[in-house]
Chain A
Amino acid sequence: MKKTYRIDVDCANCANKMEEAARKTEGVKAATVNFMTLKMIVEFQEGQDPKAVMEQVRKNCKKVEDDCEIFL
Chain B
Amino acid sequence: MNKKQRIMLARILAAALLLVVLNFIPAAGWPRFVLYLAPYLIIGYDILLKALKGIKNRQVFDENFLMAVATVGAIALALYEGSGDFTEAVAVMLFYQVGEWFQSYAVGKSRRNISDLMDIRPDYANVERDGKLEQVDPDEVAVGTVIVVQPGEKVPIDGVVEEGASTLNTAALTGESLPRDVKAGDEIVSGCINMTGVLKIRTTKEFGESTVSKILDLVENASSRKSKSEDFISRFARVYTPAVCIAALALAILPPVARMLILGLPAGWETWIYRALTFLVISCPCALVISIPLSFFAGIGGASKEGVLVKGSNYLETLSQTKIVVFDKTGTLTKGVFEVDGIHHSDIGEEQLVEYAALAECASSHPISKSLQRAYGKEIDRSRVTGIREISGGGVIAKVDGKEVAAGNDKLMDQLGVQYISCHSVGTIIHMAIDGRYAGHIVISDVLKPHSMQAIQALKATGVRKTVMLTGDAEKVACQVAGALGIDQVYSELLPADKVEKVEELLREKPEKAKLAFVGDGINDAPVLRRADIGIAMGAMGSDAAIEAADVVLMDDDPLKIAKAIKISRKCLGIVYQNIVFAIGIKLICLVLGALGIANMWLAIFADVGVMILAVLNAIRALFVKNL
Q: Footprint of B on A, CB under 8 Å?
A: 4, 10-13, 16-17, 19, 32, 34-39, 41, 63-67
Contact = CB atoms under 8 A, between A and B. Distances in A.
A10 B104 contact: yes
A32 B284 CA distance: 22
B214 interface: no
Contacts of B226: 32
Contacts of B293: 12, 35-36
Given A39-B224, A64-B57, A66-B53, A13 B297 contact: no
A44 B537 CA distance: 31
Contacts of A64: 57, 59, 62
Interface in B98-128: 100, 103-104, 107, 110-111
Contacts of A37: 111, 220-221, 223-224, 297
Given A36-B107, A64-B57, A12 B224 contact: no
B223 A13 contact: no
Please give me the 4 A-B residue pairs with the lowest Cβ-Cβ distance, nearest first: A36-B297, A12-B290, A12-B289, A13-B289
Interface of B: 4, 50, 53-54, 57, 59, 62-63, 100, 103-104, 107, 110-111, 220-221, 223-224, 226, 234, 237-238, 284-286, 289-290, 293-294, 297
B50 A66 contact: yes
Main secondary structure of the interface of A (DSSP, over half): mixed
A12 B223 CA distance: 13
29 contacts: A4-B221, A10-B4, A10-B100, A10-B104, A11-B100, A11-B289, A12-B286, A12-B289, A12-B290, A12-B294, A13-B286, A13-B290, A16-B234, A16-B238, A32-B226, A34-B224, A35-B293, A36-B107, A36-B110, A36-B111, A36-B223, A36-B294, A37-B297, A41-B221, A41-B224, A63-B57, A63-B59, A64-B57, A66-B50
A39 B216 CA distance: 14
Nearest to B5: A10
Given A12-B290, A13-B286, 20 more contacts: A4-B221, A11-B103, A11-B104, A11-B289, A11-B290, A12-B286, A12-B289, A13-B237, A13-B284, A13-B285, A19-B234, A34-B221, A36-B111, A38-B111, A39-B221, A41-B221, A63-B59, A64-B59, A65-B62, A66-B57
A38 B54 CA distance: 23
A49 B110 CA distance: 36
A16 B53 contact: no
B287 to A, nearest CB: 10
A21 B62 CA distance: 14
Nearest to B58: A63
Nearest to B287: A12
Contacts of B54: 66
A34 B63 contact: no
Contacts of A67: 50
Given A36-B107, A36-B294, A63-B57, A13 B63 contact: yes
A64 B62 CA distance: 9
A16 B224 CA distance: 12
Nearest to B234: A16
Nearest to B300: A36
Contacts of B57: 63-64, 66
A8 B620 CA distance: 22
A41 B217 CA distance: 13
A29 B437 CA distance: 75
Nearest to A41: B224
A36 B110 CA distance: 9
A33 to B, nearest CB: 8
Q: Which of B54, B103, B224 has the most CB of A within 10 A?
A: B224
Nearest to B237: A13
B402 to A, nearest CB: 68
B174 to A, nearest CB: 23
Q: Which of A11, A13, A35 has the most CB of B within 10 A?
A: A13
A32 B224 contact: yes
Contacts of B107: 12, 35-36
Nearest to B111: A36
Nearest to A37: B220
Contacts of B63: 13
A16 B111 contact: no
Q: Which of B63, B234, B238 has the most CB of A within 10 A?
A: B234
A36 B104 CA distance: 11
A4 B223 CA distance: 14
Nearest to B59: A64
Contacts of A32: 224, 226
Contacts of A63: 57, 59
Contacts of B223: 34, 36-37
A61 to B, nearest CB: 11
A67 B284 CA distance: 17
Nearest to A21: B59
Contacts of A16: 234, 237-238, 289
Nearest to A35: B293
A57 B220 CA distance: 23
Nearest to A16: B234
A63 B293 CA distance: 24
A9 to B, nearest CB: 10
Contacts of A34: 221, 223-224
Q: Which of A12, A19, A39, A64 has the most CB of B within 10 A?
A: A12
A63 B60 CA distance: 12
Nearest to A4: B221
A30 B321 CA distance: 28
Contacts of A41: 221, 224
A57 B238 CA distance: 20
Nearest to A33: B224
A70 to B, nearest CB: 16
Contacts of A65: 62
A64 B221 CA distance: 25
A48 to B, nearest CB: 21
A67 B624 CA distance: 33
Nearest to A36: B297
A38 B111 CA distance: 10
B291 to A, nearest CB: 9
B110 to A, nearest CB: 8
A13 B50 CA distance: 15
B579 to A, nearest CB: 13
Q: Which of B4, B62, B286, B297 has the most CB of A within 10 A?
A: B62
A50 to B, nearest CB: 18
